[in-house]
């Protein structure tokens, strides 16, 4: 009886997968070290148009914080920790090809004094 059931189940054709609801862009991610800051940089690959960069401020650069950059797949994202200086990080982002503006997002426990101004 079990063999018959397995044979019947094996005879069904393949089932089509549902269409993708989201196409993710490939990104290039790496740690960067500058004299005034250390951070994690994620850049989309093959982006021709200029985009808004995201400066993501976190308490600590760890795996969980790096995963937050995945929420911005079409933007250049620089993740810096609380010991980094904001202005040098903004200057760095402004110098990257394809960046026309910068949005600052603070995910730190204390965001006092953090502004979105460039």
pLDDT tens column, 77-111: 999 987 678 899 999 999 998 898 999 999 888 88
The Cα angle at residue 32 between residues 29 and 36, in degrees rounded to 5: 150
pTM of the model: 0.72
Phi, psi dihedrals of residue 69, rounded to the nearest 5°: -70, -25
């Amino acid at each position: 009886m079990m063999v018959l059931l397995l044979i019947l189940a094996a005879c069904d054709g393949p089932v089509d997968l549902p269409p993708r609801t989201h196409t993710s862009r490939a990104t290039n991610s790496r740690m960067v070290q500058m004299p005034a800051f250390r951070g994690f940089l994620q850049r989309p690959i093959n982006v021709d148009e200029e985009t808004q960069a995201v400066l993501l401020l976190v308490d600590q650069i760890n795996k969980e914080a790096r995963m937050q950059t995945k929420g911005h797949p079409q933007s250049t994202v620089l993740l810096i920790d609380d010991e980094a200086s904001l202005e040098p990080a903004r200057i760095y982002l402004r110098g990257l090809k394809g960046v026309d503006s910068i949005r600052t997002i603070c995910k730190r426990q204390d965001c006092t004094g953090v502004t979105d101004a460039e």
